[in-house]
Amino acid sequence: MTGAAGGPQLDRPIRVLIAKPGLDGHDRGAKVIARALRDAGMEVIYTGLRQTAEMIVNAAVQEDVDAVGLSVLSGAHMHYFREVAAALAARDAADVLLFGGGIVPDQDLPALAELGVGRIFTPGANTNDVVDYVREAVARIRGAGAD
Amino acid sequence: MPARVPRAGGAYNAGMKPKGAWLSDDYEAATARMPERDAPFETLSGIPVAPLYTAEDVRGFDEGAQLGYPGAFPFTRGVQASMYRSKLWTMRMFAGFGTAEQTNERFHKLLDAGQTGLSTAFDLPTLMGYDSDHGMALGEVGKCGVAVASLADMEVLFEGIDPEKITTSMTINSPANAIWAMYLAMAERKGADLAKVGGTLQNDILKEFIAQKEYIFPPAPSVELVIDTFEWGPQVAPRFNFVSVSGYHIREAGSTAVQELAFTLADGIHYVRKALERGLDVDEFAPRISFFFNVHNDFFEEIAKFRAARRIWARQMRDVFGAKDPRSWMLRTHAQTAGVSLTSRQPLVNVARVAIQALAGVLGGTNSLHTDAFDEALALPTEESATLALRTQQVIAHESGVTNTIDPLAGSYFLENLTDEMERRTLAYFESIDALGGVEGAIEAGFFAREIGDASWRQQRDIDERRRLVVGVNAFEQEAQEVPIQLVDPAVVAVQRERLAKVRRERDASAAAAALAELRRRAKEGVNTMPAFMQAAHAYCTLGEQMDVLREVYGVYEEPVLI
């Protein structure tokens, strides 16, 4: 996303919004990931619980984040990723990296990829992999924006 | 020459050298030749584990005070005198998805497969007190449980099941009063005698604030709703456990076993204090308080946890709260294997994890058990995976031989030492919680959130940095295994919405309005709400309507955001 100043700032720290959409209160994973990204030097905003897609995208735009990570364990991931992807596009923020984690079966990955969703981390994922992924994916997006 | 006499404590052979000498001579020599493995020699809670335990580690151990007999104070060895020799634990598998019709069908299949009790999983809109057609319910109806929005759904859910014969557990918290009333109303309409209807209501709101976060109202009125069931339950449905004080979710949120034990018992104590403040007699309600613990990977620590839990609860109830009825001293518990320990990589390996955890639950003397299916890190269990999980319990019960004698590990130097240590650490946590003004004060201070957040972070880093190995995750990795998964039919929402619309259209509107008015009056005046919930259930008031009344009276709670 291009900041208000115009043009991407390539050297500013990566800013990530970690969000819990919907009614599910299981927040262990969201908090662990938020902490891992923060420890890796990123600026992390955690939304807290019970967020609608609109609330999440508002926060993402206001905070001018590079990436939004959704944590969904309730089985409603298709619904929430679709809504958040659409709301990001509607706010001209489709270049924000959308990724996630939770209880998501492999069968749903192609449909999520079609929505433009990046990696999905499932139980057993290593937080170092999440950090590496966000760093590389954001660098790629920033690089593309600078061309 | 003086006669050889046993040393003080008398428990070890005087001809044997002291443990310290063995460690400095023999063990050191052995590890000089072959060094200790690079592994964390501590429990999952971080309790150090020595290379060897001997009688020296339990010196001064008072069998009568610490163990007693099974079925007698302090119940360390189990709550019944004959335990599994008379009656095996209840094999109670948690189930629920889609419509009431689909879950009813799964219930019948589980009963046909030899399951001995039912356990209902509700979907998130139900858990949060929203009707299936509410805006916040979009995308969630029937996903991680069954949708129950009125008595009409409850009647379909238990079609063909006799509530006097089959006990049912219901995992519901904030809206527990309303859901319980719907269950009892359903039983009444089948002609059942409520005095004979048994089951368990989870109804543990404190652990929602601590861990699972499915709260609606602020802590103080939420606890009063729980105490309404303490007061009303024993009079009306005396065979029903109106609360299941739950450590399960605390552990799933990332706590250690010690934190799970300490916070759960602290929650139980908080309810007892609140019920006594209301003027209730401890021996009227305490026999129907039940518990629910996790069974995780660390085999001995888990067994010790169950034994310590029973001993601590018995002592608190008798010595602190002055309960006289031995049934008030007994900690009866359900257990479930640790969902959080399951991995999505090589999911079939979860079968082994679940078997070991289930065995720990049985050796810990649990009264009922759910075993997770191996595919639960991917989706809801399929019928096949849920059956395999039940079969795992049946193998332990009928093939392993561990049910032949009661509490077979009692007297183990290591286990008794660990049981004592968990009790000590739990009592230390009680002091920290009391210093913050009790459980409600500690919630407000963010104490539990910090404790659990730090513990889950440490555990995750241990795995990420390979200080702890998890098979298939950070060791022995291999290509993904494909397993079939359970899908939820999206048609659920339409079926559910139609039934809800029909209920609203066909019920007696004035009776429904009168019931909601009565609920509002009782909530406002601080009078027991249960009679109004029964009235509302029979009048087919929806769950959302009832919870909206309470949202209006009590307000809604939002927790401070902490990472």
- Average pLDDT over chain A reads 90
Q: Model confidence over A101-135: pLDDT tens digits?
A: 999 988 999 999 999 999 999 988 999 999 999 99
Q: B124 and A24: CB-CB below 8 Å?
A: yes
| B441 burial via Cβ count (<10 Å: 0-12, 13-18, 19+) | middle
| DSSP run (H or E) holding B230 | helix B219-236
Q: Which residues of B touch A127 (CB under 8 A)?
A: 460-461, 464
The C-alpha of A26 sits at a distance from chain B's nearest C-alpha, in angstroms, of: 6
Same domain? For B439 and B505 the reply is no
Best probe of the A interface among B205, B255, B464, B468, by most A CBs < 10 A, is B464
Per-residue pLDDT of chain B (563 residues; tens, 9 = 90+): 444 544 544 444 568 999 999 999 999 999 999 999 998 999 999 999 999 999 999 988 999 999 999 999 999 999 999 999 999 999 988 888 889 999 999 899 989 988 878 999 999 999 999 999 998 898 889 988 999 999 999 999 999 999 999 999 999 999 999 999 999 999 999 999 999 999 999 999 999 999 999 999 999 999 999 999 999 999 999 999 999 999 999 999 999 999 999 999 999 999 999 999 999 999 999 999 999 999 999 999 999 999 999 999 999 999 999 999 999 999 999 999 999 999 988 999 999 999 999 999 999 999 999 999 999 988 888 989 999 999 999 999 999 999 999 999 999 999 999 999 999 999 999 999 999 999 999 999 999 999 999 999 999 999 999 999 999 999 999 887 778 877 777 788 899 999 999 999 999 999 999 999 999 999 999 999 999 999 999 999 999 999 999 999 999 998 887 77
Enumerate the residues of chain B whose CB falls inside 8 A of the CB of residue A27: 213, 253
B449 plus B497 within the same structural domain = no
Residues 6+ apart with CB under 8 A from B509: none
| Encoded tokens for B228 | 């309404």
For residues B207 and B443, what is the distance between their CA atoms, to the nearest angstrom?
10
One domain, residues B450 and B509: no
One domain, residues B287 and B360: yes
Radius of gyration of chain A (CA): 14
Judged by CB atoms closer than 8 Å, whether chains meet at B460 and A123 is answered as no
* CATH code for position B430: 3.20.20.240
Domain co-membership, B376 together with B509: no
Across the interface, of B139, B376, B457, the residue whose CB is closest to A35 is: B457
Residue B435 falls within a domain, yes or no? yes
* Residue B432 and residue B306 share a domain: yes
**Is the distance from CB of A38 to CB of B563 less than 8 angstroms?**
yes
Mutate to test the interface with A, among B171, B204, B213 (most CBs of A within 10 A): B213
Query: In this structure, are B267 and B359 located in the same domain?
Result: yes
In B, minimum Cα distance to A72 occurs at B140
Q: What residues make up the domain containing B261?
A: 81-401+420-464
pLDDT score for A5: 44
pLDDT at residue B6 in the model: 46
**B122: nearest CA in chain A?**
A74
Residue B428 sits in the same domain as residue B536 = no
Q: Cβ contact (<8 Å) for A22 and B140?
A: yes
Whether the CA torsion B324, B329, B332, B333 is positive or negative: it is: positive
B233 Cβ contact list (under 8 Å, min separation 6): B240, B242, B285, B288, B530
Domain total of chain B:
2
Predicted pLDDT at A74: 86
Q: What are phi and psi of B521, to 5 degrees?
A: -60, -50
DSSP class of residue B210 equals I
Decide if B193 contacts B186 (C-beta within 8 A). no
- Write down the pLDDT at residue B27: 98
State the architecture of A15-146 in CATH terms: 3-Layer(aba) Sandwich (3.40)
Both B393 and B507 in a single domain?
no
Rounded to whole angstroms, the Cα distance separating B412 from B402 reads 15
Q: Does A36 touch chain B (CB under 8 A)?
A: yes
Residue A98: its H or E element: strand A97-102
Residue B122 in domain? yes
- At A100, phi and psi to the nearest 5? -170, -175
> Within chain A, how many helices (H) and strands (E) appear?
5, 5
pLDDT, residue B379, reads 84
How much is the pTM?
0.92
| Domain match, B453 and B519 both | no
Q: How do residues B164-201 score in pLDDT, each as one tens digit?
A: 999 999 999 999 999 999 999 999 999 999 999 999 99
Eight-class DSSP state of B180: H
Q: Which residue has the higher pLDDT, B287 or A9?
A: B287
Token reading at B4:
């050889």
Q: What is the pLDDT of residue A9?
A: 58
Domain limits, chain A: 15-146
Interchain CB contact of A22 with B (< 8 Å): yes
